[in-house]
Amino acid sequence: MHQVSYTKRNCTDQNKIETFLLQERVGVLGMVSDSLPYAVPVNYVWHNGSIYFHGMGSGKKVEILSQSPPVCFTIYKEHGTVTDPVPCHADTSYMSVMIFGKAEKVTDYEEAAAVLQELLEKFMPEYYSHPLTSNLIEKYRSGMDGNGVAVYRLTPQEMTAKENAVEADQLFNQKEQ
């Protein structure tokens, strides 16, 4: 369904894709609301073959996902501008992954706690001395009148990856000019 049209840039190296998904920090969640696109950057974690993201239990994102869960999630990393003697051939070095599927709200407190713990370890490693528990998540959610943290899982139905990898000496460096 969603094929990379410029196949020269297609990345099929599963180890490279997995490493990329584990290392990058922010993805853009694309949704459809009232036939209009709505895209929002979110922190995420790649865990057990799925993208997980979180946010408050209310708001536009939660409203859209409750009505229309099909989404596209894009992770992108630019490495720089690729130089070329011909101006129209200048390019960008990058890696990107697009994941298509349905975003499902995680209702299991143990799964939510495990994912939130993964997020904490990714963004604030070793900052908190005690791991999150499902009991804490349940109490936090119920004490916030439904506005506590909401965790979503996006299990890929389709995934595409593109890259334009070049050596560092091929990238534009303004200091050298």
Question: pLDDT tens string for the chain (177 positions)?
Answer: 566 676 788 999 999 999 999 999 999 999 998 888 999 999 999 999 999 999 887 788 989 999 878 999 999 999 988 888 887 888 889 999 999 999 999 999 889 889 999 999 999 998 888 887 776 666 655 444 455 788 999 999 999 999 988 888 888 876 655
User: 17 in a domain, yes or no?
Assistant: yes
How far is the C-alpha of 15 from the C-alpha of 37, rounded, in Å?
Answer: 31
Do 27 and 74 meet the contact criterion of CB atoms below 8 Å apart?
A: yes
Q: 87 is in which domain, residue-wise?
A: 7-108+147-165
How many separate domains does the chain show?
Answer: 1
Q: Which of 8, 20, 37, 15 is nearest to 76 (CA)?
A: 20
User: 139 in a domain, yes or no?
Assistant: no
Read off the tokens for 115. Answer: 């994912």
User: 21 in a domain, yes or no?
Assistant: yes
How far is the C-alpha of 107 from the C-alpha of 109, rounded, in Å?
Answer: 6
User: 132 in a domain, yes or no?
Assistant: no
User: 119 in a domain, yes or no?
Assistant: no
Give the CATH number of the domain where residue 39 resides. Answer: 2.30.110.10
